[in-house]
Chain A
Amino acid sequence: MTADADKHLLPVGRVSRRGLGQSETGLAFLAFIILALLPIFVDGYAIYILPQYMLFGMLAMSLGLLWGFVGILSFGQAGFFALGAYTMGLAMQSDLGINPAYIGILLSLVVGGVLATIAGYFLFSAGVRATYFVLVTLALSIMVEQIAVSQSDITGGWNGMFIDRMSLTFGALGEISLYEDAPAYYAVLPVVVVTYVLLRWLTSARFGKVLAGIRENEDRMTALGFNISLYKTCAFALSGVIASLAGALYSTHANFVAPSLGGVLFSTEVVVWVAIGGRSSLLGALLGGILVATLSNYLNAVTPEYWQLVLGLIFITVIVFFTGGLAGAVAQLPRLWQSRS
């Protein structure tokens, strides 16, 4: 309605305290150890599919950064994911003498970053309100899907695009093919871990504090002399880069990209993951992505309609009652325990 209605966008003050806080580092360490050791105990399909879910988790972190730490919500993360995936696919078809996968990864970083910077600066410099930003980002992901469908001579249209698994080449030192599932698993996991650590570091550094300041009180940060639109654009660009990289790695792992990867439904799935996992915790977002995607994969095979229905209801419950998501619930456990004893 009016600009002042928008000031109540998020109950951010409470959300930030609902994060995992001090215990997050330990829990993250535990989660990564489990993920690192998992291939010793299980093999087969789980090891094939988990890297894709870890990349979904990485996509979720790209949204978690925006939503939890800057207070802006993007419905367009899947658009960047698909953009990275198609960039990778096109690069893999090229023959430039250098390992095409490296070119694809580099290009996907550039493409995602440049597009997010342009879109972000264009909108943030005008102070476009947060609710409109959601709509624009939703439109962005629809546009990516539409372009992927309509430019069928490049992208394969509805049929999608097949992409080979990449190899890691080390010049004269030889190469490691990621064709087998276990090497692919151990190639994806470090990327996800590094992304997580980098984001944790960034959000606790000065950059993250300024972002939190913007989230809590934009006017005050402006008065203090911070260039709000610049910071927001940087955060959005970073999240675009991460989403695009996740997409590039996903495409070479899944061997396939289709336009629906950029579509509305996948875009919202990302929002659901982050809301359930916990919007104010990067680990919550990451694990939300992995867990909900795993559950969805399993239950979609059993009862697709009812599972999606239940997921929607869980989503509503989280927004109404548990703003902090799973991460918030875990953070409150010790307090509950203390109050009982």
Chain B
Amino acid sequence: METAISVVVDATLITLILALAAFGLAIIYGLVGVINMGHGAFLTLGAYLTWAATTSGIPFILAIIIAAIGVGIVGLILEHLIIRHFYDKPFDTLLLTWAFFLVMTEIIKIVFGTNFRNVVNPLPGAIDLGLVEIPIYRGVIGLVGLALIGGTAYVLYQTTLGIKIRAMIQNREMASLLGLNIGRMYKLVFTIGAATAGLAGGLISPILSVDPYIGNIFLIRSFFVVIVGGVGHLLGGTLVGSFLIGGSETLFALFSKQAFAQTVVFLLAIVILRFRPAGILRQR
């Protein structure tokens, strides 16, 4: 019984953390259709900015905000210099964002060094729920992830900006004819996606050791989360996808080594992608 509950708790936490990590990717892929292979670099940069800010005495909350803004600015520059010229060529954006990953990783190495860095956990300790203990900080990031997804739902469905974005996804030409500045909207969405990834990187940094390839752990998993959940389903899709990828990895890890569990989950994701390329949620 205790193991069952602790597995459920673990799976839930991992689902939410993975959803948080994948959300920036889901925004950029789902809304502007860019396969952002630089997502890992956004996460890594967010983690390093948080590390740099906290070690220079800035409180953690401010540090992750700095990380989000910093990565958002980098995303904006990337979009303005390169990506905006290639929106109608998904294949080229894939290569270009990958090149961005290579360049950004090297810049991170040059600026921050290649050693492992540790961000001090701002909320150490655990809550004892009788049968299981939940590490406070992991619980908090899970909640932040949920709040972020909820907040995005609010923006998309309750605000003018949301209407504009949805109009843009539905019919780009029509939205443009109705006076929507498509170029600016794309830029905004890309920047928000990057900033979200930066925030996620910052939030995740205390639970991992930060190194220049930390984002790689999440890159492919994030993609599978987004594809398995369904590219168009920004909110539900991200959660369902995270549950399938993160949750099943937790389950498989009970029976086998972590690395092997990941392999099984990847295979599972490939099978889903083969038979339901539009994602689990989409009806045939």
Contacts and interface: CB of A to CB of B under 8 A. Distances in A.
A315 B277 contact: no
A312 B91 contact: no
B263 A147 contact: yes
A308 B98 CA distance: 13
B102 A139 contact: no
A191 interface: no
B106 A308 contact: yes
Given A309-B110, A312-B106, A319 B262 contact: no
A135 B270 CA distance: 9
Contacts of B273: 128, 132, 136
B284 interface: no
A306 B91 contact: no
Interface stretch (A4-12, A161-169, A203-211, A241-249): A4-12
Contacts of A5: 33, 88, 90
Contacts of A261: none
Nearest to B275: A126
Interface string B259-275: 11011001101100111
Interface string A122-142: 110010111110111011001
Say whether chain A's binding surface is mostly helix, strand, loop, or mixed: helix
B148 to A, nearest CB: 23
B95 A309 contact: no
Interface of B: 33, 35, 82, 85, 88-92, 94-96, 98-100, 102-103, 105-107, 109-110, 169, 216, 220, 223-224, 227, 231, 257, 259-260, 262-263, 266-267, 269-270, 273-275, 277
24 contacts: A2-B33, A8-B88, A11-B89, A122-B274, A123-B270, A128-B273, A129-B277, A131-B90, A132-B227, A134-B94, A135-B224, A139-B270, A142-B220, A143-B263, A143-B266, A146-B259, A146-B262, A146-B263, A309-B103, A312-B102, A315-B102, A316-B82, A316-B103, A319-B99
Interface of A: 1-2, 5-6, 8-11, 73, 122-123, 126, 128-132, 134-136, 138-139, 142-143, 146-147, 149-150, 264, 268, 271-272, 275, 305-306, 308-309, 311-313, 315-316, 319-320
